[in-house]
Structure 1
């Protein structure tokens, strides 16, 4: 019997913990490759961009010195939110990986110094590098960025609320395996996507506390009017609730011990208490 009460106490604590965790969870859940929504109905939706410009890639460039002014890299980034589109890549290089529908691509040109006196550089044809697709992308918990995984690396597009037209910029190249771009757009602003409704956590809490209130009211009325209890004795199952902390503690100890009874200590063998673990 006591083992059952222990299990009941453990389950009660777990239910309360679960409901609290569900209520505390407040993340922007991905709805589509370019939209996410919070439990209160607010979120970000970039889908109107596709309706305006279906196949246009937004571009930005970065210029980096690689070898003490002897070698430079010119990188051009192409970004298309929401839908994977095959870019118009005119290249025959075997190292190019942008010949498939994608969301992010980079074209890297290398410029090498060939005449120091004249300051003459020669630029190669460059290579195209695949950086991410929308069908495997995910939003950050705060909804402020979209993460595009690509093997061991990833590309992050920060969404910046702006009143100006859609623009792409390079934000950070400090980590080569985690390039960070910023996309400025009026559609990157947080807005109300759906009317807020009752969340799962709120529903669970309402059900839980309704059951608790019903249990207390029914138990108090039964003990007071049918059993004549007074004072604190009107609380239903008072002995159980008083002993609940010890039951939960014993339940945890029983679980940690691999659901085994504790080892019997030294001493004379006596008849076990009918309410002890040894009697089960």
Structure 2
């Protein structure tokens, strides 16, 4: 293992121990975005593209390198490496390159990956299932870790292999941090309040203009339904008194 890889592994370990995770499940809205109940969440579509047609290359473990294209598919070409197995015209999202025999294998496309998930006391992750050469089901799990270290770009680190062909990767990026997610559109209550203000403006301004032009009203005479609005405070007072008297009308004869 090189010195640079050792430093990256150490950084991943420290981030894994110190990261402050969310206290609830992050519900996926796309395969690269999820939102928690408190309105915070993760959006990995802003991760900067890597140097190989947008692919981010990983560190090496046992002569294996991964190339990851977050959130969407593309065709991979790496100078000096046989990536014919990963340069599909339709595009891929994850490629595994084996330097031992100079071969590459397309593992998954973005639409075939699992949605980004975040459970209690875990890091946000995307899981890529694939079939190994012996036909068994294997996975590549990519965990996203937030860092704010200046001068360290987005890194993809192969952390370990728990069993044959099962890999765990960490993507370290400032764009992998938790953020406030803005929900598109307005709530029903907001829409109703806006409608109320619009119709109130039309009622008062339109009514005042109509009374001014049709009747030559001035001052308080321009208020539409003037008698009703002047009587409103008394009507409210009577309504409150009626309610506190248990809905019983009090007449002058009873006083």
TM (normalized to structure 1)?
A: 0.46
Please tell me the root mean square deviation across aligned C-alpha atoms, in Å. Answer: 3.7
Unaligned runs of 5+ residues in structure 1 are 1-24, 65-73, 111-123, 196-280
> Which structure carries more relative contact order (alpha carbon 8 Å, separation 6+)?
1
SS at the partner of 1:174?
strand
**Cα–Cα, structure 1 residues 78 and 51, in superposed 2: closer, same or farther, change >3 Å?**
closer
Q: Measure how far apart 1:63 and its partner are.
A: 4.1
Could you tell which deviates more after superposition, 150-159 or 51-60?
51-60
* Aligned counterparts, 1:72-87, within 5 A: 74-87=63-76
Counterpart contact for 1:157–1:182, Cα < 8 Å: yes
- Aligned: 1:106 with 2:96: yes
Q: Does the 8 Å CA contact 1:58/1:79 hold for their aligned counterparts?
A: yes
Greater mean deviation of Cα atoms: 25-34 or 128-137: 25-34
Structure richer in strand, relative to its length: 1
User: Which residue of structure 2 aligns with residue 161 of structure 1?
Assistant: 146
1:142-163 deviation digits (Å, cap 9, x = unpaired) = 3611111224111110101012
CA displacement, residues 164-223 of structure 1 (integer Å, 9 cap, x when unaligned): 42111111112234211110011111111126xxxxxxxxxxxxxxxxxxxxxxxxxxxx
Alignment of 1:135 with 2:111, yes or no, is: yes
> How far is 1:92 from its partner?
11
SS at the partner of 2:29?
strand
Could you list the runs of 4 or more consecutive aligned residues of structure 1 that deviate by over 3 angstroms after TM superposition? 50-55, 89-93
Residue 88 of structure 1 is matched in structure 2 by: 77
* Cα-to-partner distance string for 1:75-133 (whole Å, 9 max, x where unaligned): 2211111111111168998x9642321111111022xxxxxxxxxxxxx4x11022222
TM-score normalised to the size of structure 2? 0.51
